[in-house]
Structure 1
């Protein structure tokens, strides 16, 4: 294999802001302590404080991180010169956005509302208030995904013609209390990351076939999904997702297989295999013209490093250092439209079998 396929040459990090602004976070759920704050501290992004309507939870998390716990949403929203970080349940996004000053810079936790109707309302609020708003589809910024996209851009795989997502997990849904009561779970809160990534890699599909369902051993609305995205007659794209594989680590999986006309890639997202502690991410590439798989040495993982890149882009856009706000609410609305199409497909009957004559 020639040096032009040097795996260490692949980009894995986003440019950092020269003068990061302080961050005010709305929400004190587990994702803040597990990912947002660890990422911001690792990157040196200042944290101005947090607000959560559950005062006890807010004060506990604030004490753990040595930051201020605001007493009200309006007090948090009144802090000048900051980035607002909404780590709130999807149903709360709209009301929080309305409290923010016009022209504010905002990062909104995914999903962009519970459904496409709420996403459209959020989009209207952001437009009306002229908010510089992005959605936290941070998987795009994971080191393994940045490197994968760089390999694709460099032509190491040729033309991408196959994308498979295969997950067999034991996901601890109990960590997110609002999820236990949500009517939409698996696609809207988890596989939305993969749908968004697929849009980035392959563009927008013509449509989707999907089936999503729960499990008889619990009451979470949906935890298993099968989906096929329609990219015409050249590209095959499918997802097989099972969050109820509770039979030990041996045959669990959280991986993508991306095949091109001249090469291929394998991705493991380790955090989901033992959330939130996780296992290492993995990226292996079989570049065109090579005679075997090459392991890409990774400089970090989805958690927390992708959250650094996600916030870095927001910070740099606010400062005029980045021309593009990646996963802006305008773009994220289309990911929500794909999610909505998957749920519509799920609600419609499958093609029935012919009756025996």
Structure 2
């Protein structure tokens, strides 16, 4: 039964742990300074320190945030009751996880390895070492997305039958130098967030049709993707992603349109527009039985607030305060399987168009 629509009553925050554990961060890249550290400071989560093989880089970031830079990896592992936050490139995940204390709690930067084989290896490490591990698919935890899921759960859209993702923007790939030379970029490093979010809302699709390509103006492996997720004859789910729409802000977009049988939602993902400065996120809902669109007053943004909520769930699960670890490695592996299927679809030959008869 549909509840009376109150946009201010939609859930936007995850409950905080009663006794936050110290966080040990591996990696000192831009995402740590732009999102992880601002989020943890905002939430009041203690950060025990940062380790990076480039100690000078870690020390500079640690000095900026007035925290410790570990001299070596061994010192980072010795922090008692730590939550280990792996803000590292995918190729580095397995080695670090394999040295974490048995039973430790860990947050793994997406993707969960460079491909499905690597994700499977990571899954086995986490199982063997009994790690309470989740992958940092934090878009599920953005205030706008928590509110969207709550609105769907309360029946304000009816049955969701349509999901459109449309991106036409200019992404500064140079911010992430470790991407240079990697064979998989757009789906594996960016649209993976959207695929994971869609799985969280609609469940696993039956399959995927996809094509992902680069652009003649640069050497990044892929920056443009078109994909259809197959949910049978009831749900249409389409992604159109173009990171090379570099012609000024006027007609750029980063938005989702979600339609139900009796209501709809519009989401603007502001951080991707003029990244990393970004623009405000937006969530609008046309509720079942409502006469007009209603703007949901958002209390936070994808960056950094999704990182607060993501870490809160892991902290609470590690302490026994949450029964479910959202985005666990078991669940995240399924997102990686969807990514792998998308790349296989892209590599497969297209169905040829029949020639004109007589030619």
CA-to-aligned-CA distance 1:80-127 (integer Å, 9 cap, x gap):
111000000000000111121111100000000000000000000000
1:278 aligns with: 278
Partners of 2:251 and 2:197 in 1: how far apart? 25
CA displacement at 1:179 relative to structure 2: 1.1
Work out whether residues 102 and 130 of structure 2, in 8 Å CA contact, stay in contact via their aligned partners in 1. Answer: yes
Query: Matches of residues 14-29 of structure 1 in structure 2 within 5 Å?
Result: 14-29=14-29
Are the equivalent residues in 2 in contact too, given 1:271–1:279 (CA < 8 A)? yes
State the shift of 1:207 in Å.
Answer: 0.2
| Higher deviation after alignment, 346-355 or 300-309 | 346-355
Distance 1:195 1:47 in 2: 30
**2:258 is matched with which residue?**
258
Question: 1:79 Cα shift?
Answer: 1.4
Residue matched to 1:49: 49
Kindly indicate whether residue 208 of structure 2 is the aligned counterpart of residue 208 of structure 1: yes
8 Å CA contact 1:119, 1:336 repeated in 2: yes
- Partner residue, 2:84: 84
How far apart in 2 are the matches of 1:75 and 1:323?
Answer: 31
Aligned to 1:324: 324
Partner Cα separation in structure 1 for residue 87 and residue 3 of structure 2: 43
Structure 2 alignment gaps of length 5 or more: none
Q: 1:327-354 CA distances to partner (integer Å, 9 max, x unpaired)?
A: 0000000000000000000000111101
SS at match of 1:324: coil
Alpha-carbon distance in 2 for matches of 1:19, 1:33 = 24
Secondary structure class of the residue paired with 1:5: coil
Q: Secondary structure at the match of 2:162?
A: strand
Deviations 1:300-338 (A, max 9, x none): 000000000000000000110000011000000000000
Deviations 1:26-53 (A, max 9, x none): 0000000000000000000000000001
Cα pair 1:10 1:150 within 8 Å, conserved:
yes
- In the other structure, the counterpart of 2:172 is 172
Q: Which residue pairs with 2:126 in the alignment? A: 126
The 8 Å contact of residues 62 and 69 in structure 1, kept in 2 or not, is answered as yes
Deviations 1:253-307 (A, max 9, x none): 0000000000000000100001111100000000011111000000000000000
Tell me the SS of whatever aligns to 2:161.
strand
Partner Cα separation in structure 2 for residue 3 and residue 309 of structure 1: 25
Whole-angstrom distance in 1 between the partners of 2:123 and 2:77: 19
Alignment of 1:1-357 (within 5 A): 4-357=4-357
- Partner SS, residue 254 of structure 1: strand
Give the drift of 1:71: 1.4
Unaligned runs of 5+ in 1: none
- Structure 2 Cα separation of the partners of residues 79 and 143 of structure 1: 31
Q: Contact 1:73/1:96 (CA < 8 Å) preserved in 2?
A: no
* Partners of 2:3 and 2:154 within 8 A in 1: no
Structure 1 residue 248: deviation in Å? 0.5
Q: Confirm or deny: 8 A CA contact 2:22 2:81 kept in the other structure.
A: yes
Alpha carbons 1:74, 1:99 under 8 Å: kept: no
- Provide Cα deviations, 1:125-154, integer angstroms capped at 9, x if missing partner: 000111110000100000000000000000
Paired with 1:243 and 1:75, the residues of 2 have a C-alpha distance of 40
- For the 8 Å contact 2:3–2:155, the answer to whether it is kept is no
TM-score (norm 2): 0.98
**DSSP 3-state at the match of 1:230:** strand
SS of 2:309's equivalent in the other structure is helix
Mapped to 1, the partners of 2:70 and 2:56 lie a distance apart of 12
Q: Where in structure 1 do 4 or more consecutive aligned residues deviate above 4 Å?
A: none
